[in-house]
Chain A
Amino acid sequence: MAKLAAVVGIGQTHYKTRRVDVSIAGLVREAAVNALEDAGLGWDDIEAVIIGKAPDMFEGVVMPESYLTDALGCNGKPMLRVHTAGSVGGSTALVAASHVQSGMFKRVLTVTFEKQSESNAMWALSTPQPFSVHLNAGAGGYFAPIIREYMRRSGAPYDVGIRVAVKDRLNGARNPLAHLQLPNITAQEVEDSMMLWDPIRFLEACPSSDGACAMVIAAEELVSQSPRPPAWIRGVAMRSEPTMYAGREEVNPQAGRDCAADVYRQAGITDPRKQLDCAEVYVPFSWYEPMWLENLGFAAEGEGWRMTMSGATSLDEGGDIPWNCSGGVLSSNPIGASGMIRFAEAARQVRGDAGAHQVEGAKLALGHAYGGGAQFFAMWVVGAEKP
């Protein structure tokens, strides 16, 4: 049986196109210091550091944990580096939680980051692989045909993605940390933006951001040592499947469905739309909101787009299940950290600490991340109440 654990501190940086004022070490330290301050703790209170980021080629630093140990107060302690593609931010949070849930550690710091301005992610994602055919397409080029297949199957109107793009940017405008601050964005503006990978327009895609996110996770007996409300970890799950296999369901991947079922079972959730108060879900391209609404069991298959269009996922419109109140990946995308930001923002909601993007009275929230060819999934459910 997993030991009880809770998030007792959260720290983020501002998300921006370029953080020229800090090095990579400075960036991760900023998030870590913010998390420690939030938790009312110092470096000596931390037993281990779990770090995650997307491919090393994004910054050109091989296994950068080696270099970052000093900035993260880790000397003399265990440091683990997680890498599970785009889901890494979520996976890193789960691996950090497992340090405490296993009973082997009482309190750990976990940090994820990306400093995209020191790199070119499109290049790094498109380098020729020595042993396989490659696509010079980046992530958007990979996902566009899958989105088109979703549109074909569901008969969704062309503007569902536009609606998500507007909603998440309006949410982002409530979040002072968000990279994109577009409080006056309109559907027309999104529709008029350049088509990048049909049907994904420029404003329907995530930005490239610099930033880091950190959390302190503590065992039950240490939770009260931190001054602010904890976010209790109520369920944790990860799933993987191959990029390609005969009969693979790319629009609604089995790994995502299985992962959701696992995390809901642990948290006692049978009706996610009803029982959860909000969700932070990895939506890097607008159309992934309706697709994940279905994959995660919030809507029946083929019906996710109707839910989006009805305003059910909108904070501004008072929807019953707001998604990505922080602005989501569409507003800030330091890739390696993007999954952890979802996990941390879910925790902020149940701690009642989400400021202007708080869902009133939120008690139970989902954090979600995915990666690779929509084949790696990491999820957790956090709650205000101790299970």
Chain B
Amino acid sequence: MKEIAVVAFSQSDCLAQAGAANEVELIMPQLQAVFGQVGLNNAQDVDFVCSGSCDYLQGAAFAFVAGVDALGAVPPIKESHVEMDAAWALYEAILKIRMGHAESALIYGFGKSSSGELPIVLSQQLDPYYLAPLWLDSVSLAAMQARLLLDRGLATERTMAEVVVRARRNAIGNPHAQVSGEFSLAELLAADTVVSPLRQSDCAPVADGAAAMIICSVEKAREWGVPYALLSGIDHRIETHNLGMRDLTDSVSTRQAATAAGAGRGPVEVAELYAPFSHQEIILTRALGLGNDTLVNPSGGVMAGNLMMASGLSRIGEVFRRIVSGDIARGLAHATAGPCLQHNLVAVLESA
């Protein structure tokens, strides 16, 4: 099967409020950055474009259509869209390259969550007949999951806060972070909970912004003469929507995806995990069997800022950056969707 190379990645600053910026203004700078990394002019120089976004964040049907205006799609281009995190747009682009209909692809994701109240908006992702009418918001569901974890002794409020302290410390080196810095455990634990047992610090700060990536065949990467990382495996799995039927303290689908992506075939030096709540990093680390020899979320992960619809792609981008800079030779990236880690994607990247 055709090998896939990641050749460029860029992410915007994570902003709590991007103000009057529209879709094009969010996306354009990231597209220009990735085109610049490869030496391309616009989307005409790649064979396929795929994006990820969610209409409900903007509160408008077909919000993604405006994104096409950022592409320079004249003459017309081969383009598609998933109503998912852009990590899944990447997946679609890989299919396109492997079927021989493209040698290269641009992927981008964007979201402007500040237009609404994200936890409430996401409550409408639930079963529309039995759950959505309860307006059960995403933070409350995550809190329930965290409570189960505490009750089973798989985490404590302290270990959850440790995740946050480490993430915010790591985020000091991340120029796009919305939240970063040195915090003490005592200081975090002194705060009240927002939805018990979650404190505000356990919840990733929601951010407006965008991310973009360019992938291609290895032959194309050599032709372009740019440094690249091999995307040696990628897989994603979904679980039942019925929360009562899942063991919420585990992430079976993450493990399935990791196995299928070949994560265990070599050392995992870095893992960038999409954990919008501190306890979910604990669940994911356990599900993936990551030990002390794996550096988890050196970018700060989404605790540094959660770019809805782009954070999954950004995790892959963060691992890519560390590989091409020579810091590591192999890493794992994870993306998630749905309530309480329902749907998970794992990608494995390696140095060329």
Contacts and interface: CB of A to CB of B under 8 A. Distances in A.
17 contacts: A1-B100, A2-B101, A56-B83, A59-B128, A62-B56, A62-B121, A63-B338, A78-B236, A83-B82, A127-B60, A131-B66, A236-B101, A238-B79, A239-B77, A242-B69, A242-B71, A258-B75
Given A66-B125, A239-B79, 7 more contacts: A55-B55, A78-B236, A79-B236, A124-B61, A130-B59, A255-B76, A372-B65
Given A78-B235, A95-B95, A63 B77 contact: no
A130 B126 CA distance: 25
A76 B128 contact: no
Given A77-B238, A245-B74, A61 B80 contact: no
B76 A82 contact: no
Contact of A63 (B54, B242, B252): B54
Nearest to B63: A129
A76 B238 CA distance: 6
B127 interface: yes
B228 interface: no
Chain A contact-residue range equals: 35 or more
Nearest to A246: B74
A373 B132 CA distance: 32
A81 B60 contact: no
Contacts of B101: 2, 98, 236
A241 B76 CA distance: 5
Interface of B: 1, 20, 22-23, 49, 54-56, 58-66, 68-69, 71, 73-84, 88, 91-92, 94-96, 98-101, 115, 121-122, 124-129, 132, 235-242, 252-253, 256, 337-339, 342-343
B152 to A, nearest CB: 23
A106 interface: no
A242 B54 contact: no
A187 interface: no
A84 interface: yes
Interface stretch (A10-18, A67-75, A210-218, A345-353): A67-75
A2 B99 contact: yes
A63 B126 CA distance: 9
B114 to A, nearest CB: 11
A72 to B, nearest CB: 10
Contact of B23 (A65, A95, A131, A243): A131
A378 to B, nearest CB: 9
B115 A130 contact: yes
Interface of A: 1-3, 23-24, 54-70, 74-85, 91, 94-95, 98-99, 101-104, 118, 124-125, 127-132, 236-243, 245, 248, 253-255, 258-259, 372-373, 375-376
Contact of A98 (B60, B96, B237, B337): B96
Nearest to A66: B338
Nearest to A85: B62
Contacts of A65: 84, 238
B115 to A, nearest CB: 6
Nearest to A245: B74
A80 B82 contact: yes
A242 B337 contact: no
Contacts of A259: 76
Contacts of B58: 129-130
A104 B23 CA distance: 33
Contact of A55 (B62, B74, B80, B122): B62
